[in-house]
A and B are shown apart, each in its own frame.
Chain A
Amino acid sequence: MHSSLSLSFSSSTAIPRSGYSSELSCAAPPSPLNLRFCGLRREALGFSSPKRNDSRRVVVSSRGRSTKVSASVSENGSAPKAFDYDLVIIGAGVGGHGAALHAVEKGLKTAIIEGDVVGGTCVNRGCVPSKALLAVSGRMRELQSEHHLKALGLQVSAAGYDRQGVADHANNLASKIRNNLTNSMKALGVDILTGVGTILGPQKVKYGKVGFSENVITAKNIIIATGSVPLVPRGIEVDGKTVITSDHALKLEFVPDWIAIVGSGYIGLEFSDVYTALGSEVTFIEALDQLMPGFDPEIGKLAQRVLINPRKIDYHTGVFASKITPAKDGKPVRIELIDAKTKEPKDALEVDAALIATGRAPFTNGLGLENINVVTQRGFVPVDERMRVLDADGNLVPHLYCIGDANGKMMLAHAASAQGISVVEQVTGKDHVLNHLSIPAACFTHPEISMVGLTEPQAREKAEKEGFEVSVAKTSFKANTKALAENEGEGLAKLIYRPDNGEILGVHIFGLHAADLIHEASNAIALGTRIQDIKFAVHAHPTLSEVLDELFKSAKVHAHVPSPVSEPVTV
């Protein structure tokens, strides 16, 4: 694929055409821009494999694109310091994938090393299969909610499900997305190298499967994107059957009558939604004093009233699960609880299964960080705001970056991808710092929770320190036509902003399709759009997006604040 495309581009050179030439012959004119795929392929052209570099140099120099790129290429094969790749990414999760795609777009010769399966946690053991399960749970909830159906005038006889069918759906979705990811990278000419990647020294990486010969490659820049694994606290024995992590739960090998979920963050909440919809009863075990820590308290409170209290869920807060023993010999799973503060034994639970959703631990062992004097902090690779890796003395390690869960800045797939893109921008000569406060997050319960920026307490703390005013505006889904048409009026959107200049500090949404609604706010934060401007943007009626429209309109920004978007434009 790669070579054939090169050939077609370099039609003006002496290389004979391949079988693809007829399809692409129309591209014979000097500019390759009207070729199909050209937007994606033209960079790949300059950097095909070293074996054919004699012909390639002609092409590159003739096109005269980025000097930096041609420099690296001209080194290739001639200078002693030749790199096999411009960019090597260790880990083909969503972060690595995002970085690879952007690298290709920027004209970098890119390889990605993956020791397991392409797609990483998100695609194989995280966001993707869980969305499949949540899609099922959402429908089950609808079909089981007699009251809701009746209100819509619908009649449905008892809804049931086939566990294996549900599990297959999740598994099929994961493999579909995994193939899409793999194909998209292959199609772009990213080399996918199989094996565990280890950093040998500056700009040098080895990879290889256990028991096979190892390959050493050099790269101008290296991105660590090894992600994370479920965190299992001490004292908890995971057997993969009755005491499980999200990795096992997503396979949905059984639906227990009663499952304890340790941790009430995103993962725990989503699984509680799945399990209760499939008929399980759930007990949350949360170390902090309130459920759903990390969410805006007001949203958390409302979410608890909707997602927890009316469901078959109870909870213990302020306790640690100090010991969890899997079920065996006819005995149930036993969980010992101790007080989170005093560490005194508090209670014990006997349940059918326990899901450990206490968070995720970075997967950075065996990366060879010691070879470059980098010491992890609780497993996380220390980085600066540009994702540049810091060594044990706090100095920058040149040409080495770390993105995603492995650096722990924001453990979200799309954050990793954004960080990867930011790194590629930097290595191609454009300074870029990612604003993490503009990265949205979502929890796909029914209804969904989404957020971007600061929570109210965080905003108030910041305001106190920096001496500005904070205001809060709220709108309810009860006032939204579309939500009411769906008979899903439960929900709240909350805007935290600065009334003095109209800056959006945070937006939190709990309600129907909240995860899809948040982007108007996250884009506004990313682009620095102020409330006084965005409130004039028009939303289609009737849509759920009007919840945000209302929200922006209900904010009260001081009148004297100038608005840059004030010039009327006639069209």
Chain B
Amino acid sequence: MSQLLHLGTSFVPSSSTALRRNPTSSPTIHISGNKRTTIQAKIREIFMPALSSTMTEGKIVSWVKSEGDKLSKGESVVVVESDKADMDVETFYDGYLAAIMVEEGGVAAVGSAIALLAETEDEIAEARSKANTSPSSSSPSPAAAEAPEKAVGAPEKAAPVKAAATVTVAKMASSAHPASEGGKRIVASPYAKKLAKELNVDLGNVVGSGPMGRIVAKDVEAAAAAGVSVAAEDPKPSPSSAPVKVPASTGIELGTVVPFTTMQGAVSRNMVDSLAVPTFRVGYTITTDALDALYKKIKSKGVTMTALLAKATALALVKHPVVNSSCRDGKSFTYNSSINIAVAVAIDGGLITPVLQDADKVDIYSLSRKWKELVDKARAKQLQPHEYTTGTFTLSNLGMFGVDRFDAILPPGTGAIMAVGASEPTVVATKDGRIGMKSQMQVNVTADHRVIYGADLASFLQTLAKIIEDPKDLTF
């Protein structure tokens, strides 16, 4: 509750930077931000050095240190490849490597900043936000740099994330790994581990198909593709029906044949794989007047509609654990221990599914802040694998496009996904024989019929509708 108080006193809803909470920073970070004026001087930039007289740009071969590492003067921080050779670059100051601005493999011009060095641990977060707001002129790859801000009116603004190069991954619910000891130990082949790192796949959530249940490369590829598959079919959440500017289409040469990118290839494979899961769909129309009223009331406290919907869904799942389960081998299924709501967010060239963990237990204010934080991190490409791979139930929303109903394809490895349409004023006949206007939205759940049956979904949706139509429980 202290956090809640905090919000009440110093929280400025319009300032999105103030919202950013970094897990490593103290909660007072957004207060201190205004007080310290000397901070900038303590955060130093690490520049791309000129390693030879003819060098104009350098490629980052590898970061010897990672973000958050303590550095002492003279220590190697990064290996840079010049036109001649690879060289270690040392730091001239003591401090902490706060933010890496040019990732491994990226190219930066001589003299441009490639990382930020914070003098004290407290300043790491400050430096990071600085790194995010003023990205280095030279970005890792040209594709990443151009991601335009084409996000949308919705309050929580599911912003596009620079992701041309980031393959996103959705969750494969958590369960004990066959080859591990009670899930403690993950057995993955060297290449699988390497791929997982590259594709940002959390091995803890991947089911191994190799000998003795070992995770092998194709499992990681499949898991990565599973994440992407969510992207494939549903762009962007936003429960409000606010009009949306659809970004103007970029220059596409008509009549050309374009080979699949790696990501598209993975999506394609995964889409075909999803045919192996017998799914079915159940729809429901839910009146949102009470929810809209609640939202209006607590919006100023930073609550977002996404958080409200996730919260409502999580509370409904508490009562219907089977809908939060998952079946992977066709022989057994797992009642997942946490309710982690993954919310699909469209990004340029794909999609990512930040996960609101334990959405049933976390209060709505914290959940809203968490959501902001996740979106900000997604935008900065700083989401950690556990922040986007651990979902047990997925929400997908096309409401902001005015879509009133659609259905989603179930990401392999999860039990159910809910497609949320726009909430629109509707003329309805009430039981007392009168006609009135109510805001209503249609939801449509796709589920794995091997474990979740029609009645399960029906009663789940009934519970959800009750919660949304009488949302007092959402705020505790």
Contacts and interface: CB of A to CB of B under 8 A. Distances in A.
Interface of A: 257-258, 281-283, 302, 305, 309, 312-314, 331-332, 348, 350, 352, 474, 476, 478-479, 492
Nearest to A283: B190
A312 B198 CA distance: 13
B85 A332 contact: no
Contacts of B216: 257
Contact of A258 (B83, B179, B190): B190
Given A257-B210, A281-B190, A312-B194, A350 B85 contact: no
B271 to A, nearest CB: 26
B472 interface: no
Contact of A350 (B191, B212, B217): B212
Contacts, number: 44
B190 A313 contact: yes
Residues of A contacting B: mostly:
strand
A552 to B, nearest CB: 17
A22 B210 CA distance: 72
B350 to A, nearest CB: 24
A314 B84 CA distance: 28
A476 B84 contact: yes
26 contacts: A257-B189, A257-B210, A258-B189, A258-B190, A281-B189, A281-B190, A281-B191, A283-B190, A302-B86, A305-B61, A305-B62, A305-B86, A309-B62, A312-B189, A313-B190, A314-B193, A314-B194, A331-B212, A332-B211, A350-B179, A350-B214, A474-B85, A476-B84, A478-B83, A478-B84, A479-B84
A324 B65 CA distance: 33
Contacts of A313: 190
A257 B211 contact: yes
Interface string B60-86: 011000000000000000010001111
A302 B214 CA distance: 31
Contacts of A257: 189, 210-211, 216
A408 to B, nearest CB: 33
Contacts of B214: 258, 350
Contact of A492 (B62, B79, B85, B187): B85
A314 B191 CA distance: 8
Contacts of A331: 212
A476 B85 contact: yes
Given A257-B211, A305-B61, A350 B187 contact: yes
Interface string B111-153: 0000000000000000000000000000000000000000000
Interface centre among B79, B179, B210, B211 (most CB of A within 10 A): B211
Interface string B25-53: 00000000000000000000000000000
3 tightest CB-CB pairs across the interface, nearest first? Answer: A312-B191, A314-B190, A281-B190
Contacts of A476: 84-85
B185 interface: yes
Contacts of B210: 257
Interface string B169-198: 000000000010000010101110110000
A331 B194 CA distance: 25
Nearest to A256: B211
A348 B185 contact: yes
Given A282-B190, A478-B83, A492-B85, 4 more contacts: A257-B210, A332-B211, A332-B212, A478-B84
Nearest to A260: B190
A479 B86 CA distance: 13
A478 to B, nearest CB: 7
Given A305-B62, A332-B211, A332-B212, A312 B85 contact: no
Contacts of B211: 257, 332, 352
A476 B189 CA distance: 34
B79 to A, nearest CB: 8
A195 B384 CA distance: 65
A308 B250 CA distance: 41
A178 to B, nearest CB: 36
A281 B216 CA distance: 10
Contacts of B189: 257-258, 281, 312
A63 B85 CA distance: 62
Nearest to A313: B190
Contacts of A479: 84
Nearest to A258: B189
B93 to A, nearest CB: 24
Nearest to B83: A478
Interface string B189-225: 1110110000000000000001110101100000000
Contacts of B190: 258, 281-283, 312-314
Contacts of B191: 281, 312
Contacts of A492: 85
A309 B84 CA distance: 21
Nearest to B179: A350
A427 to B, nearest CB: 49
A352 B187 CA distance: 12
Nearest to A330: B212
A312 B179 CA distance: 21
A429 B450 CA distance: 89
Contacts of A474: 85
Q: Which interface residue of A305, A331, A350, A479 has the most chain B CB atoms within 10 A?
A: A350
A478 B214 CA distance: 40
B269 to A, nearest CB: 19
A306 B210 CA distance: 27
Nearest to B190: A314
